[in-house]
Chain A
Amino acid sequence: MKILIKGGRLIDPANQIDDRMDIYIQNGKIRALQTSSPKRSLKDLTEYVLIPADDLIVTPALIDMHTHLREPGQEYKETILTGVQAAVAGGFGAVACMPNTMPVNDNQSVCSYILSKAREARLARVFPIGAISMGLAGESLSEFGEMKESGAVGFSDDGRPVMNAQLMRRALEYAKTFGLPLIAHCEDLHLSQDGVMNEGPTSTWLGLRGVPAAAEEVMVQRDIQLCQLTESRLHIAHVSTAGSVQIIREAKKRGLPVTAETAPHYFSLTEEAVVGFDTLAKVNPPLRTREDQQALVKGLRDGTIDAIASDHAPHSPLEKEVEFDRAASGLIGLETALPLTLQLVHKGALTWAQALAKFTVGPAGVLGLEGWGRLRIEGPAHLTLIDPALEFEVDVQKFRSKSRNSPFHGQRLKGKAVLTMVDGRVVYNHLNPNLE
């Protein structure tokens, strides 16, 4: 099949393209990119399926480098199928899924299982992240080599930190054999002990136990020192504090192989979202303060933060309609991550190219995803089309995710993905659902 995406504004941050381009696609590959000319006759293009994109932004397909798909083990919250359905509806052509499933993805069998389910679903591409430690127990290394052979693109104990500094050191060293990054969930469990929200004025008055910013920052600093020691690639997950941004900025200045991501809720909400004991706003690391939000945006702008990831964490009412202390942490984000980020673009805090880089070349670079994050002639046609003017109200009932735990329900946002294409196949089409 031949497809022509015509007249859209192509923004490909990796190639520094921001221009009206026609994109010719054949057999799942990009055949040609041509400056769009309205005069060109369509007569000689009758064999092409035409996707008119005059008012749309076209970009390399978005990548969510931090997702929880819950399968295997917690299929009542999400399955690989519903997860990738949500992903493509959010504009993501690829997701990297965290290993805290049941059983834990700490071996090649679970990796292979996830990939076989993803192939069946045939929507977004799924890249598994393997566990750093067996069973996420923080005691011994899991089999990085075998997991890489089965498709893992990085390693993380996400959801919990590697408290043992020696294990973290060894993991960083060992990962060098296979050229894959470690993704660190930075939290000192002694400092965050029993904490359920940010430590600050709001926790003081709600009487909820606080997690100080330092609980994250001391571990960011520790892992950066270990990165320096081992010269191995380190990626800091879900950065939430101004202090972490500063530490990472300085590490990058020193030339260390460190990268970082944040999530949209950290720059869209503050700790005040918890007032009223709203368990939908309970997340780890916790929502922070206005100053942290500003530092994160600055970090996105100056390149300290390489990627924006959803940290999509589905939970059912069983985990959320309970006492705040007892509620599970996490919120779903696949279907709101891009629109929330675009609010920064509308405000002028980020340029389009900066915002889209955090979902394309940024995560593709961290995870080393060949064929993703930038367009290349004869490369795979992974594309996302965005309507920058589309205004909508977030409605969790319309989400494709199996879960509904979003604190953004009811919020009005502007700009969303309207078409997602993977290998030249339209896997989501808001413009014309029949074409999917």
Chain B
Amino acid sequence: MSFSRHHLLGMKGLTREEIEVILTTAESLKEISFRDIKKVPTLRGKTVVNFFHEASTRTRTSFEIAAKRLSADTVSLSAGSSSLVKGETLIDTGRNLEAMNPDVIVIRHSMGGAPHLLSRFIRASIINAGDGLHEHPTQALLDLMTMREKKGHLQGLQVLIVGDVTHSRVARSNMIGLKTMGAQVMVAGPPTMIPPHLEAYGVEVGYRLEEFLPRADVIMMLRLQLERQQQMLFPSLREYSRFFGLHPGNVRKARKDVIIMHPGPLNRGVEIHPEVADGPYSVILDQVTNGVAVRMALLYLLLGGEKK
């Protein structure tokens, strides 16, 4: 098993073998987070810059904890504190960071392709922590890890993704990763939020989640961004939650061994009813725990891994 990539820009292009290396490495590193002393010296002397040009709590904290558990030094920049607000271009900010010799730059950006642009000007490894509506590969990897952990396999798994697929980088990265791993993907949501031509990629598309509910092994609810209402994509939160949300009424129609996922942050009572979010099928917090393990694995693998 080997992993020779320098950047992680997206799930697209990752092979099945590469994904397996990442997941297996993450599974073996997960245990560190349950020790009394949650730190190993693996990345001592390495510098990880968390460059978050868009608000994030979970992902940024997760990367920071992951890097620290491996003894890397971490620095965080956010949109408010970075000089991008002073009119500096992304490339210039990147070059300035580069001049301080970091080993990894983790970037979150509100515009698709920003990590790709940066990667053309920078030698440090770049990890895409979410770019616009494009990809969020570390989220997909932690989701895959969670599915594999709970269901034992990914091949043939029936995964239903529900909600605003058009505006979800989480959905995109998951669809790509799941197809690569041989899972079957179904998406459901209002047609105003389903992008065109998904079927060509082998994704089943429906509007009502009830269509797919009985055969889903995994249900992944997407966050509804509340400003979409102003964009004429749905009439009201009430109607959205009734027809496209997961609640005790429709969960009853799901398989008894279904797992329910959500990338967070939750809109309780909108796309997911509190009883479902906190209920027995929910693995939402396991996802967060696995997020640290997956990010530890990526930092380790990108910084040399077993080559050293």
CB of B117 closer than 8 Å to a CB of A:
yes
Q: Smallest distance from the beta carbon of B176 to chain A beta carbons, Å?
A: 8
Query: Do residues A209 and B133 form an inter-chain contact, with CB atoms below 8 A?
Result: yes
Set of chain A residues within 8 Å of B172, measured between Cβ atoms: 205, 207
CA A204 to CA B198, docked complex, whole Å: 8
CB of A113 closer than 8 Å to a CB of B:
no
Name the residue in A199, A207, A277, A322 with the highest tally of chain B Cβ atoms < 10 Å from its Cβ.
A207
Q: Smallest distance from the beta carbon of B228 to chain A beta carbons, Å?
A: 13
CB of A200 closer than 8 Å to a CB of B:
yes
Which residues of chain B from 154 to 181 have any CB-CB distance to chain A below 8 Å in the complex? 169, 172, 176
CB of B134 closer than 8 Å to a CB of A:
yes
Contacts A207-B112, A276-B116, A277-B116 known; A325 to B132 CB distance under 8 Å?
A: yes
CB of A203 closer than 8 Å to a CB of B:
yes
Q: Smallest distance from the beta carbon of B119 to chain A beta carbons, Å?
A: 11
Chain B interface residue number, banded: 20 to 34
CA A323 to CA B90, docked complex, whole Å: 8
Query: Do residues A207 and B109 form an inter-chain contact, with CB atoms below 8 A?
Result: no
Question: Contact string, A201-242, partner B, CB cutoff 8 A, digits 1/0?
Answer: 101111111100000000000000000000000000000000
Query: Do residues B89 and A206 form an inter-chain contact, with CB atoms below 8 A?
Result: no
Question: Contact string, B103-135, partner A, CB cutoff 8 A, digits 1/0?
Answer: 000000101111011000000000000011111
Query: Do residues A207 and B116 form an inter-chain contact, with CB atoms below 8 A?
Result: no
CA A204 to CA B171, docked complex, whole Å: 11
Contacts A200-B197, A321-B89, A323-B90 known; A205 to B112 CB distance under 8 Å?
A: no
Query: Do residues B91 and A321 form an inter-chain contact, with CB atoms below 8 A?
Result: yes
CB of A324 closer than 8 Å to a CB of B:
yes
Which residues of chain A from 324 to 354 have any CB-CB distance to chain B below 8 Å in the complex? 324-326
CA A206 to CA B112, docked complex, whole Å: 7
Set of chain A residues within 8 Å of B117, measured between Cβ atoms: 277, 321-324
Query: Do residues A277 and B113 form an inter-chain contact, with CB atoms below 8 A?
Result: yes
CA A207 to CA B132, docked complex, whole Å: 7
Query: Do residues A204 and B113 form an inter-chain contact, with CB atoms below 8 A?
Result: no
Query: Do residues B113 and A323 form an inter-chain contact, with CB atoms below 8 A?
Result: yes
A277: nearest residue on chain B (CB-CB)?
B113
Query: Do residues B196 and A199 form an inter-chain contact, with CB atoms below 8 A?
Result: yes
Set of chain A residues within 8 Å of B111, measured between Cβ atoms: 323-326
A274: nearest residue on chain B (CB-CB)?
B113
CA A321 to CA B169, docked complex, whole Å: 23
Query: Do residues A201 and B113 form an inter-chain contact, with CB atoms below 8 A?
Result: no
CA A321 to CA B117, docked complex, whole Å: 8
Selected contact of A204 from candidates B89, B132, B135, B196, CB within 8 Å: B196
Q: Smallest distance from the beta carbon of A16 to chain B beta carbons, Å?
A: 45
Set of chain A residues within 8 Å of B133, measured between Cβ atoms: 207-209
Query: Do residues A206 and B134 form an inter-chain contact, with CB atoms below 8 A?
Result: yes
Set of chain B residues within 8 Å of A205, measured between Cβ atoms: 12, 172, 176, 201
Selected contact of A208 from candidates B134, B198, B200, CB within 8 Å: B134
CB of B195 closer than 8 Å to a CB of A:
yes
B200: nearest residue on chain A (CB-CB)?
A201
Set of chain B residues within 8 Å of A209, measured between Cβ atoms: 133
Question: Contact string, A180-201, partner B, CB cutoff 8 A, digits 1/0?
Answer: 0000000000000000000111
Set of chain B residues within 8 Å of A323, measured between Cβ atoms: 90, 109, 111-114, 117
Q: Smallest distance from the beta carbon of A176 to chain B beta carbons, Å?
A: 38
Which residues of chain B from 72 to 105 have any CB-CB distance to chain A below 8 Å in the complex? 89-91
Query: Do residues A322 and B198 form an inter-chain contact, with CB atoms below 8 A?
Result: no
Q: Smallest distance from the beta carbon of B118 to chain A beta carbons, Å?
A: 10
Query: Do residues B135 and A207 form an inter-chain contact, with CB atoms below 8 A?
Result: yes
Set of chain A residues within 8 Å of B201, measured between Cβ atoms: 201, 205
Set of chain A residues within 8 Å of B195, measured between Cβ atoms: 203-204, 210
Set of chain B residues within 8 Å of A203, measured between Cβ atoms: 195
CA A200 to CA B201, docked complex, whole Å: 13
Q: Smallest distance from the beta carbon of A189 to chain B beta carbons, Å?
A: 14
Question: Contact string, B183-199, partner A, CB cutoff 8 A, digits 1/0?
Answer: 00000000000011110
Selected contact of B112 from candidates A199, A200, A208, A322, CB within 8 Å: A208
B133: nearest residue on chain A (CB-CB)?
A207
Query: Do residues A324 and B196 form an inter-chain contact, with CB atoms below 8 A?
Result: no
CA A326 to CA B197, docked complex, whole Å: 25
Set of chain A residues within 8 Å of B112, measured between Cβ atoms: 206-208, 277, 323-325
CA A64 to CA B114, docked complex, whole Å: 35
Q: Smallest distance from the beta carbon of B286 to chain A beta carbons, Å?
A: 27
Q: Smallest distance from the beta carbon of A268 to chain B beta carbons, Å?
A: 23
CA A326 to CA B176, docked complex, whole Å: 26
Q: Smallest distance from the beta carbon of A60 to chain B beta carbons, Å?
A: 44
Query: Do residues A201 and B197 form an inter-chain contact, with CB atoms below 8 A?
Result: yes
CA A276 to CA B115, docked complex, whole Å: 11
Set of chain B residues within 8 Å of A206, measured between Cβ atoms: 112-113, 134
Selected contact of A207 from candidates B89, B134, B197, B200, CB within 8 Å: B134
Set of chain A residues within 8 Å of B200, measured between Cβ atoms: 201
Set of chain B residues within 8 Å of A208, measured between Cβ atoms: 112-113, 132-134
CA A211 to CA B201, docked complex, whole Å: 21
Set of chain B residues within 8 Å of A321, measured between Cβ atoms: 89, 91, 117
Set of chain B residues within 8 Å of A210, measured between Cβ atoms: 195-196
CA A322 to CA B94, docked complex, whole Å: 12
Set of chain B residues within 8 Å of A277, measured between Cβ atoms: 112-113, 116-117
Q: Smallest distance from the beta carbon of A55 to chain B beta carbons, Å?
A: 42
Set of chain A residues within 8 Å of B116, measured between Cβ atoms: 276-277
Set of chain A residues within 8 Å of B91, measured between Cβ atoms: 321-322
CA A201 to CA B198, docked complex, whole Å: 7
Set of chain B residues within 8 Å of A200, measured between Cβ atoms: 196-197
- The 7 listed contacts between A and B (C-beta, < 8 Å) are A201-B197, A204-B198, A205-B172, A208-B133, A322-B91, A324-B112, A325-B112
Q: Taking A207-B112, A322-B91 as given, write out 20 further A-B residue pairs in contact, using a Cβ cutoff of 8 Å, ordered by the A residue number.
A: A199-B196, A201-B200, A204-B196, A205-B176, A207-B131, A207-B135, A207-B169, A207-B172, A208-B132, A208-B133, A210-B196, A277-B113, A321-B91, A322-B89, A323-B109, A323-B112, A323-B113, A324-B111, A325-B112, A325-B132
The 9 A-B pairs of least Cβ separation, nearest first, read: A277-B113, A207-B134, A207-B133, A201-B197, A323-B111, A204-B195, A325-B111, A324-B113, A207-B112
